[in-house]
Structure 1
Amino acid sequence: MVGIGIPICVQCGTRSNPCRCKVVGPTLGFLAFAAAAIVEWPIGAFVYCFKHMKGRRIMAHPATVVYPSVTKAIPI
């Protein structure tokens, strides 16, 4: 039987909490990144056909905005 694993992201060396490691924030950030990418990458690819820079900004949005903002919002 094959099980589906949940991706767990760990960020150590941070000073935002006493244990200096974050698990929840990066993991939820990755899940939010994946959800945003599923929606935004096809749209960005379509827009890229007509306006290259706008398409690139749309496709980069999950990595440059969504993931960092979710990861920083949750301190543990």
Structure 2
Amino acid sequence: MSDILDLKGLNCPLPVLRTKKAMKAVPAGQTLTVEATDPAAMRDITALCETAGFTLLSAEERSGVFVFEIRQVA
């Protein structure tokens, strides 16, 4: 089961900061779906996953909304 974090309408750096904070509460093996409209989120959230050790399962744009599926590893 995946929770959804709605960050639509927020601008950099809030989407990546709130994603990082929300991932702390996600149990290992569970996923978080993040929705954002800030174009910088694609770069920033991808980089967050790489540096924090989260697994980025998918990242795509759907009608102006960037949708990320992120799995907590630890």
Measured against the shorter chain, the TM-score band is under 0.3
The structure number with the bigger radius of gyration is 1
Select the structure that is richer in helix: 1
Q: TM-score, normalised by structure 1?
A: 0.23
Give the TM-score taking structure 2 as reference length.
0.24
Q: Which has a greater percent of strand?
A: 2
